[in-house]
Amino acid sequence: MNAIEKREFKELVKEAIGEVLTEHRELIGEIADESFERAALIRAIQEGEKKPLRDPAARVQGLGTLTGKVGFRAKFTQDLTAITDALLLRRIKEIMEQVKRATTFRDLPYLEPLEERGKYYRIRLGDYRLGVLFDKGTFTFVRCLGREEIYRYFHEASAGSSAGGRN
């Protein structure tokens, strides 16, 4: 298969995946939610919790009411411009829409706190992570980086820096 055939094949596969995602969005969302819940349960057991939480959202309850307000830091938008994967960008957009529609933390099962009682969270999307700040009812998307980088640059934010990473 030459380079042109490979490119055409990739485009056909992308289109097919896009059609499947569009047609079966609700089913795929349910499968993803179940996978996140299972992963949280396994992680809790591995971390030695005697009574692992069946609902990962229970870890972040009591932090305030979700208002549907969403903000973005400049670094987040810069991170997005560096991403060329259309499917990943579509998934990020769907996550942002879900966060905006959420009324409780239970509506966001994929949200994982970065510290016990902090206001910084991560959302896992394959090899990428979204670094999110929740403060006074507003979610602010701070960073969107690969899993190797997010903890290095977003860690500063979770430790108390307001910039949240590379400057």
pLDDT for 10: 82
Work out the number of other CB atoms within 10 angstroms of the CB of residue 140.
18
Amino acid at 48: G
143 C-beta neighbours (distance < 10 Å), count: 23
Q: For residue 127, what is the domain's CATH number?
A: 3.30.2310.20
pTM: 0.55
33 vs 141: which has the higher pLDDT: 141
| 70 and 123, same domain (yes or no) | yes
Number of domains in the chain: 2
Q: Domain end: 35, 54, 73, which one?
A: 54
pLDDT above 50 for 58: no
Residue carrying structure tokens 């056909």: 12
Same domain for 69 and 39? no
> Do 142 and 71 form a contact (C-beta atoms < 8 A)?
no
Q: Which domain holds residue 13?
A: 1-54
Instruction: Say if CB 33 and CB 107 are below 8 A apart.
Output: no
Residue 29: pLDDT above 70? Answer: no
Of 29-33, 90-94, 118-122, 154-158, where does the model show the most confidence? 90-94
